[in-house]
Amino acid sequence: MDRVGPKYTKNIFFGVGFSRRLLILAIFFALSVAGVSFSIYLFLIANSAYMYLIAILFLTLSFITGSFNTYAAYLYYKSYFYIDHMKREMAEITPMSRYPKVCIIVPIKNEDPAIVEKTLASILTIDYPRKKLDVMLSDTSDSEKRSRTLVRFCKSNRIKYLYGRSRCGKAGSLNAALRYVHAEFVAIFDYDERIVKKSFLKELLPYFQDKKIGYVQTEKSYFKGSFFSQTVDLFDKFFFNFIEPARAINNTAIYAGSCGIIRKSVLDEVGGFPEYVTEDTFFSFKACGLGYKSMYVPKVYAKGIQVSSFSALAKQQWRYNFGDTEFMRYYMGKKKNLRESVISHIDYIMHGMGLSYISVMLISFTVLSVLIVFSAASITHISLLQMLNLRDVATDLEIIGSSALFLSIFAPVIMTKVYFGSFKKGFMLFALNYALAVTRTIAAISVFTKKNPFAVWNRQKTNNKGNLLYSLLSTRLELLFAGVVLLFSYLALSASNILGGFWLAWYGIMYGLATLFVYKYG
């Protein structure tokens, strides 16, 4: 038989000059310093309990932000060395000497049968002995009638078709299928992911020669789409090119739900996929807690269909943030079960708080900015002469602190330019974080209000691009928040607080972009 082993192609992101990485690290550091400097400034000018409270709140937020920025910089720096880590891991691996039994599962719910068929057809092209490969379609659609064409397709291509209703989303669909799996390894692909490298199994299975390897994850990618879609894709690219490699070195690489392989015995030991919204994160945590290792291979073997509308993106981000917040609650009760290093614990905390942190911090800083503008802070009345007076410590701290807003824009834009060659996408990415902040925050709150997260887990099907009424109604909470901030902006401008008014107007406009994005992109 062919002796095929893993192949590693150097990823361009790991090869970017070290000096550029140091530049971005410096920006992260400057952003943290700016926030703390403004906090100190607020303490220096405080002359009432109200001002001291504002200063304390701003310092607290600045400390949290600084901690996240520092750790993000650490992960970003560490990812640079992943190529060396991969070489060390591959040094112990030998080519395959046998073909173990593998089952590939595709879970679906109310998906377009035509797209599903293309995905299944691409999976059948994988370079692997057919007698050693089972392909299974787990269908939890609302009606079995809509899947008749898939039943015929599966029957004619020796694909196992399972139908059953599930209230537990993707995890329930996968667990229903696992009861019929009699293979050594399980691979999962989403309904729209088509194989682009047929060597998927032959290149990845050799990593399991290490009996402690529980799962191997590859880079998830998407077919090229519109400017909006390509910008949305950057959310995943930042994760898979910087965060996942660094976490893999720490042995906390996340199984990302698809485009990966899992040892079936590990799934059995864990008890299947935990039935939460982000079943992949929970599974990764439990496998790590049992002492299993994880591997990340920064190579694309399959591509999916990009998110093409803002509504679909908001829905996706709601699910991610709900799941991550849910995981954070779970982690706090189970953290003692993780027999790993302090760094491993920090990795999971940062993962669980990631999107919530971004969104809650944005909204918190906005609210605090309103309080500052209508306080005794002199930031809104600073003159050019004061700015040039370097002997005034309070003014110096005020100026340094005021640069935080500029640096918060500068950091993602520069990173996007360095790695993806586009300032435009960097600004768009920055704007999307503001436009999604309210949705993400509501998702986090929904965890505590016991809202059913499994109502729908498939992607948005209807595109309401250009529908003004739909845009206004679907972003009513974002519009309400933006309107309140803009009202305070107007009040500040009316009181001749020009800088303060423009400061708040900036925030109001950024949150209001959600409506514009829905109208423009659907």
Record the pTM: 0.84
Q: Which residues contact 237 (CB under 8 A, 6 or more apart)?
A: 419, 420
User: Of 242, 497, 270, 255, whose CA–CA distance to 369 is shortest?
Assistant: 497
In the block, residue with structure tokens 């005020």: 398
Q: In CATH terms, is domain 93-354 a member of 3.90.550.10? A: yes
Per-residue pLDDT of the chain (522 residues; tens, 9 = 90+): 444 555 554 444 455 556 776 777 777 777 777 777 777 877 777 777 888 888 888 888 888 877 887 887 888 888 888 888 888 877 777 887 889 999 999 999 888 899 999 999 999 999 999 999 999 999 988 776 767 889 999 999 999 999 887 667 889 899 999 999 999 999 999 999 999 999 999 999 999 998 999 999 999 999 988 999 999 999 899 899 888 998 999 888 999 999 999 999 999 999 999 988 889 999 999 998 888 999 999 999 999 999 889 998 998 888 888 888 889 888 887 766 556 677 788 888 888 877 666 788 889 889 988 888 887 554 444 444 444 444 555 555 555 656 666 667 777 787 788 778 888 998 999 899 999 999 998 888 888 876 655 544 344 455 678 888 989 988 999 999 999 999 999 998 998 888 888 889 999 999 999 999 999 998
Half-sphere exposure of 146 (CA within 13 A, CB side): 13
Q: Is 422 exposed, middle or buried (0-12, 13-18, 19+ CB in 10 A)?
A: middle
CB 418 within 8 A of CB 424: no
> In the structure encoding, which two tokens stand for residue 211, read together?
């009996």
The domain locations on the chain are 93-354, 462-522
Place of tokens 């935080």: 404
Q: What tokens does 466 get? A: 């250009």
- What DSSP line would sit under 440-464, residue for residue? HHHHHHHHHTT--TTS--SPP----
Separation between Cα atoms, residue 459 and residue 476, nearest integer Å: 21
CA dist 333 → 252, 262, 326, 329, 449 (Å): 19, 26, 11, 7, 19
